[in-house]
Amino acid sequence: MYTRSLVGVCLLMAFSLPAGAQNQNLTQRLGYSADAKLLIIHADDLALAHSQDMASFEALNQGAVSSASVMVPCPWLTEVADYAKAHLDADLGLHLTLTSEWKTYKWGPVAPRDQVPSLLDPQGYLYADAGEAVRHIKPEEAEREVRAQVETALKMGIHPTHLDSHMGTLFTKPALVAVLVNVAHEYHLPFLMLKIPGTPPDMYAALKPTDVILDHVFMAAPPIKADEWLSYYTHILRTLPPGVSELIVHLAYDDAEMQAVTIDHPDYGSAWRQRDFNVLTSPEFRRVLAEDHIVLVSWRDLGRLLPKP
């Protein structure tokens, strides 16, 4: 998901940050006590590859994850659409995609290229690096592409439960945050966002008091060692603070397809994603969830808190 350091992408790194005061009673609004530990376990990057889809579908079917998000520009979208139509209760959001980060596996925009030229690198693909993308992207063209991704998903039979941003591109400056927030408002969807103390207020100018803001977000980041995978994730569970948190994971099988997709990219690569799958579906992980009285919730649950349109 995140392949480069980028100011603003720290919104989704592997630590927790306090939410704003408007969110203090979110657990109670969901029907739980104020000290309840609610967790969305969220699988990123569906439609990236068949391997990604199969592992993520298996985790969804097992209840090992409670939510997932879809990369609409990617080649395996039709497979996700088939799953969505066969599993109407699946919590599937859109992983709004303005970058294409892999070395030899690329994709372009959903909108016509002549309508979003600022999104394109010299080869005609989306930029590989989020920082470079942000330097070039015109917000009005980003919004055109984001809307095209939402409309494409709907036409394919995917009814998103939420919106978030691949590689954090839409979290990097006020005009791009506004794209995410305004489109989410138009389609009446919750969206991934944290309010971080010290962030300039204009980053949050598009938010409304009725928006649902998570309390904490966690995601594995380098340099986590392969033999520490289980302990890393169980430590997050053991120390999970009260509130509504999200744990972002990347699930795939370490097979020939995924190895080719992620060639020369060990961070969030094929073996990384297999380890995520192995831990999330393990008895040990489930046991710690139960022992620490962590309740899995979904973005669909949060969407019910939004005012009726």
pLDDT at residue 132 tops 90: yes
Q: Please report, for the chain, the start and end positions of each structural domain, with discontinuous segments joined by +.
A: 9-303
Residue with tokens 């969807």: 189
**What pLDDT is recorded for position 2?**
32
**What pLDDT is recorded for position 5?**
29
**What pLDDT is recorded for position 11?**
41
- Cα dihedral angle (216, 219, 223, 224), rounded to 10 degrees? 110
Nearest Cα to Cα of residue 239 among 304, 166, 292: 292
pLDDT at residue 110 tops 80: yes
Cα–Cα distance list, 232 to 69, 220, 236, 275 (Å): 23, 8, 7, 12
Arithmetic mean of pLDDT, 21-42 = 86
9-303 CATH:
3.20.20.370
pLDDT at residue 74 tops 50: yes
pLDDT at residue 149 tops 80: yes
Percent helix / strand / coil, the chain, rounded to 5: 40, 15, 45
Catalytic residues: 44, 250
pLDDT 10s digits, 182-216: 999 999 999 999 888 899 999 999 999 999 999 99
**What is the average pLDDT value for the chain, to the nearest integer?**
93
Instruction: Give the C-alpha separation, 162 to 128, whole Å.
Output: 24
pLDDT at residue 4 tops 70: no
DSSP state at residue 126: B
Q: CB–CB of 160/77 below 8 Å?
A: no
Provide Rg for the chain, Cα atoms: 18
